Amino acid sequence: MFISLVVFLIGTCLAGLIVYKTNLHEKENKLTITQLNATTYGERIKQEISDGIEITHTLQQLLIDGNGTINKFDMIANNLVNDSVESIQLAPNGVVTDIYPEEGNEAGKIALLNDKERGKISCYARDNHILITQGPFELKQGGEGIAVRNPVYLEDGTGQEYFWGFTIVILRVQDVFSGSLSAVSEFGYEYRLSKTVAPWDDTYEIVSQSDDKLTSPISYGFTIGEEKWKFELMPKGGWENKKSVILLGGILSVIVLLLTGLTCVILIYRENKIKFQTLANMDALTNIYNRYGFDTLADRMIAKNPRNHYIAALLDVDDFKLINDVYGHTYGDRALKNLADSMKKFFPSDVLLGRNGGDEFCVLIPNCTYEDAKEKLTQFTKTPKTFLCKGEEHSFYISLGYAEYPRSGSNRSQLMRCADAALYEIKLHGKNGCMAYREGLQSGVRKQLGFALKDVSEHLPGAFIIYKADKKDDELFYANREFLHMIGYKNLDEFFSHTKKSFRNLIREDEQKQMESSIWKQIDGGNENDYIYFHMRKSDGSYISVLDHGRIVETPQYGRVFYVMFIDWEDIHIHYSDLII
């Protein structure tokens, strides 16, 4: 009896200790997961507000470019508006004069700086050069809104800065945060979103909250302009796990339940561990492996069967920034998710898929060679990808580079560098293509010659080409849109095909020798800045009179390279005939 009592007491104490530890562990897990969700969705809410702020910045840039005016405001605002925007407004000198849409928002045409409710904070934004948010406040159309006011400053004729007015976006509270707040509610959380009343006031006002009261919530703070925001979360059932307390009574009665309780603790621990491991390896947006997860599993796959052949591919979305700028980051995310979904449908289940970050994705195909992969990867690349925006389907395209193990690289890291070099080569020659790695391609040139050069050349105010500076074997590398338009080509591929990638084939036959002699005479004589006049062949076989102005540069990959700007000789005479003597 005594021994039984001792066993019972020891069993009771052990059971109580196990229950206590289990309860504490689950509470810590809840705190950790809640903190992760508060951070994740707090950042998402911040981004949703930032999307509205971005509209005001776009209008600000248009005002700066237009010297204080915006032509076709309604058309521009219509392109910028999204589902969460109630209205877009312009307020020169602090007086709202333009509203889109105007219908139903006429009451918004007020003098902000003198308004009783809006004057103080608007003056503060004007005087301190900061963007401010104000609200929530009731909208005439129903619901609540938040105003984002961005002060705009221009320069007068003497270069002095002056206050032009405000660019304004009114956001609907129930729409702008609906996705994030609905998600945390579905995940079993009570929430509260608050912001400071004004930049100079630390008092918080509630923007949106769930029905029940929050007790000891997890808080995530962020700042917009000089105003502080706070996003708070707590589980709907509270932090304590009442089931563990009930389990204690069962454990005290029966030793079997004690063992069952121990088993439950182990299983719960392992389940939580797997969840966190999965969270660490998966990309939340696309539900495929993130870079860490992909690299880890790719190394394991190759190490497990080092004699097998593998194809590693890198791909990204062509002009992804344009999607974000035109349609907004929400639809950019949809494009990325749709791309990941198309990868899952297209590739077999044994293919490893990952997202490196941004709009770049990676693929590892086992038991595959260059010959096996070419047709399949080309088919996937050329198939248009789509996303829906406001009921309309929009297409986007990708570029892809790939390399074979062990032919091109002896490990995963080398393989990815080779795939990256092939991807860059595609980007340099027109995008929306698929290329296998070959000897001579260097991903290291990417920062020196690639994207920076393309960005510069695309925005130069003139026709521009780059070609290899070789007297016997010149090779065209690049031509910007304005040059292609000047001589009548649709794209870079058509230009390369028609000219056989030779600058010499652009020069009229009877001028080739004299032209090339003149160029190299300047170079060899140390003079790189003279203009040269000649007739350049257009795509239809006709000729155009041009002046070229070139410079020779040493590059790591191609050696000496010509950067050449072209000017239409007839345009000079037409526009500047009164200046030409």
CATH of the domain at 416: 3.30.70.270
Cβ atoms of residues 502 and 474 within 8 Å: yes
Residue 347 has pLDDT above 50, yes or no: yes
The CA distance from 94 to 111, in Å, is 6
Radius of gyration over alpha carbons of the chain, in Å? 32
Q: What is the pLDDT of residues 87-119, one digit of tens each?
A: 999 999 989 999 998 887 777 788 889 988 888
Q: Do 430 and 486 sit in the same domain of this protein?
A: no
How many H-runs (helices) and E-runs (strands) does the chain carry?
Answer: 17, 22
| Distances in whole angstroms, Cα of residue 214 to Cα of each of 26, 161, 185, 193, 205 | 19, 48, 13, 12, 15
In a domain, 96, yes or no: yes
Please say whether the beta carbons of 169 and 88 come within 8 A: yes
Q: How many domains does the chain have?
A: 3
Rounded Cα–Cα distance for residues 489 and 484 (Å): 5
Name residue, tokens 């059971």: 15
Residue 257 sits in the same domain as residue 155: yes
445-469 pLDDT tens trace = 443 334 444 455 555 678 888 888 7
Distance separating alpha carbons of residues 565 and 456, to the nearest angstrom: 13
Domain CATH number, residue 519: 3.30.450.20
Based on the domain organization, do 29 and 172 belong to the same domain?
yes
Write down the pLDDT at residue 450.
40
Distance CA 541, CA 499 (A): 11
Angle at 88 between CA 82 and CA 93, to 5 degrees: 160
Q: What percent of the chain has pLDDT over 90?
A: 22
Do the Cβ atoms of 130 and 41 come closer than 8 Å?
Answer: no
Q: How far apart are CA 475 and CA 428, in angstroms?
A: 14
Tell me if 27 sits within 8 A of 268, measured CB to CB.
Answer: no
The reply to whether 306 and 433 lie within a common domain is: yes
Token pair for residue 535? 């007739």
CA distance 434 to 1: 81
242 or 372, greater pLDDT: 372
Q: Is residue 435 part of a domain?
A: yes
Contact 285, 338 (CB under 8 A): no
DSSP 8-class letter at 448: I
- Is residue 447 in a domain? no
**Which contiguous run of DSSP H or E holds residue 161?**
strand 161-172
Same domain, residue pair 477 and 400: no
Amino acid at 545: S
- The pLDDT tens digits for 535-560 are 899 999 899 998 888 888 777 656 77
Same domain, yes or no, for 499 and 465? Answer: yes
- Token pair in block for residue 254: 């029966």
237 and 301 share a domain? Answer: no
Residues 410 and 481 in one domain: no
Tokens of 52: 């509205």
Question: Are 35 and 218 within 8 A, CB to CB?
Answer: yes
Residue after which a domain boundary falls, among 441, 463, 494: 441
Of 22 and 203, the structure prediction assigns the larger pLDDT to: 203
Q: How far is CA 453 from CA 271, 430, 464, 477, 546, in A?
A: 50, 14, 11, 12, 23
pLDDT computed for residue 343 by the predictor: 92
Task: Measure CA 405 to chain center.
Answer: 30
pLDDT > 70 fraction of the chain, expressed in percent and rounded = 89
Cα separation, 260 vs 224, in Å, equals 51
On whether both 15 and 65 belong to a single domain, the answer is yes
Strand partners, 362: 314, 354
Q: What is the mean pLDDT of residues 295-308?
A: 91
10 Å Cβ neighbour count for 460?
13
Domain that holds residue 416: 289-441
Q: Which of 473, 341, 493, 500 is nearest to 428 (CA)?
A: 493
Token pair 């509630």 is found at 206
Helix, strand, coil fractions of the chain, as percent rounded to 5: 45, 30, 25
- Distance (Å, whole) CA 562 – CA 568: 19
pLDDT over 90 at 376, yes or no: yes
Q: Which two tokens stand for residue 70?
A: 């915006």
* pLDDT score of 578 more than 80: no
Give the number of other Cβ atoms within 10 Å of residue 450's Cβ.
16
Answer yes or no: do 415 and 525 share one domain.
no
Which of 420, 441, 462 is a domain's end point? 441
Residues 190 and 45 in one domain: yes
| pTM for the structure as a whole | 0.41
Torsion of the alpha carbons at 460, 464, 469 and 474, rounded to the nearest 10? 150
pLDDT digits (tens, 9 = 90+) for 381-432: 988 888 888 888 888 889 999 999 998 888 888 899 999 988 888 887 767 8
Answer yes or no: is 114 within a domain. Answer: yes
Does residue 37 sit in the same domain as residue 173?
Answer: yes
Strand order in the sheet with 360-366: 289-290, 352-357, 360-366, 310-317, 398-405, 434-436
Residue 399 bridge partners (DSSP): 316
